[in-house]
């Protein structure tokens, strides 16, 4: 077994990854700001806030001390929302050394800078960075429901090391070199998942969902190719796999948020119902701003989601406008 691993983030995904890691690693330490979460993990081996019914393995403990979590292990899983990445990495940078490896798990793009999580991390940290992404709902991973994911790094040996360190019989990891492609796929699929929820909220059916997922993938590919990423990435777990699960699952917070919008709720009310970070809301804003400066790139689903969320466009009208666009060849964007 490996010796130790640190996990920053006491939410559902950080807790699920801690449980996965605990099968291969002697000691797992979780950082959580919420002192009640820390207390419940240390006293009851449970995260009562997210998984009150799940018993965590005994080799998992928790702390609210950032310096301790960084010094605990050279391998650090970073499991915080995209909008918290910059402030957190800036705060912990004084404790980080080049021998550390940061394993990034958030799926989003930072507004204004338009940077992925690994790019934000790179502003403050010069050591190794790996991105862990794919079709993974924490609610299933923590229950050991078979799951497959990718570990992406520009350094193949590093990706393989993380693969060997975290892979279990129920948590299969593949390696990939296209770190930016993986991050783009994970971020933009959240926009499509919001759109998927909107169509569900309106009451549309399977035909609509299939068209949305397929054309949503086309938008992800178009965007990814403009960023000089690998086309193959979007056919895999981080692309199509993550898109399918997020557009269909009851666990998907982006889809659940979209359902409320489709039923007529405001952005604020929908967010309150979900009561968790909905990455797609910020990501669609970031991508919309990018499209304003790159008019040759057409992402109609993304643009309609933006209009619904930020310009109060009626969801049914948005779908009608998508359906009545000019006729095209299906793969025009690849020619």
**Helix (H) and strand (E) counts in the chain:** 15, 8
H or E, element range at 148: strand 147-152
Taking residue 97's Cβ as centre, other Cβ atoms within 10 Å add up to 11
Three-state DSSP class for residue 150: strand
Length of the chain counted residue by residue: 335
189 flagged as catalytic: yes
Distance of CA 226 to the CA centre of its chain: 21
Catalytic position from the list 115, 180, 189, 282: 189
Q: Which 3-state string (H, E, C) describes 62-128?
A: EECCHHHHHHHCCEEEECCCHHHHHHHHHHHCCCCCCCCEEEECCCCECCCCCCEHHHHHHCCCCCE
Active-site annotation, residues: 189
């Amino acid at each position: 077994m490996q010796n130790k691993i640190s996990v920053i983030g006491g939410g559902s995904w950080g807790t699920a990854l801690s449980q996965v890691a605990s099968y291969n690693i002697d000691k797992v330490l979780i950082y959580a700001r919420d002192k009640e979460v820390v207390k419940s993990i240390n006293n009851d081996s449970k995260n009562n806030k997210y998984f009150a019914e799940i018993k965590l393995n005994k080799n998992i403990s928790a702390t609210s001390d950032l310096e301790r979590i960084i010094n605990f292990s050279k391998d650090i899983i970073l499991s915080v929302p995209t909008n918290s990445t910059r402030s957190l990495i800036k705060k912990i940078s004084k404790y980080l050394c080049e021998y550390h490896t940061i394993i990034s798990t958030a799926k989003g793009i930072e507004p204004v800078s338009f940077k992925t999580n690994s790019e934000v991390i790179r502003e403050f940290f010069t050591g190794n960075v790996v991105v862990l992404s794919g079709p993974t709902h924490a609610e299933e991973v923590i229950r050991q429901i078979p799951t497959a994911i990718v570990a992406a790094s520009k350094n193949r040996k590093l990706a393989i090391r993380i693969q060997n360190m975290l892979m279990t019989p129920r948590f299969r990891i593949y390696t990939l070199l296209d770190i930016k492609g993986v991050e783009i796929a994970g971020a933009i699929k959240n926009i499509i998942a919001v759109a998927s929820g909107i169509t569900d909220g309106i009451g549309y059916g399977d035909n609509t969902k299939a068209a949305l997922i397929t054309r949503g993938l086309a938008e992800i590919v178009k965007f990814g190719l403009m960023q000089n990423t690998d086309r193959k990435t979007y056919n895999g777990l981080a692309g199509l796999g993550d898109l399918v699960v997020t557009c269909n699952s009851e666990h998907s917070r982006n889809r659940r948020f979209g359902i409320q919008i489709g039923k007529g709720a405001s952005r604020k009310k929908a967010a309150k119902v979900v009561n968790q970070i909905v990455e797609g809301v910020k990501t669609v804003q970031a991508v919309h701003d990018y499209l304003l400066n790159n008019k040759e790139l057409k992402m109609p689903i993304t643009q309609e989601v933006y209009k619904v969320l930020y310009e109060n466009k009626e969801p049914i009208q948005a779908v009608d406008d998508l359906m009545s666009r000019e006729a095209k060849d299906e793969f025009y964007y690849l020619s």
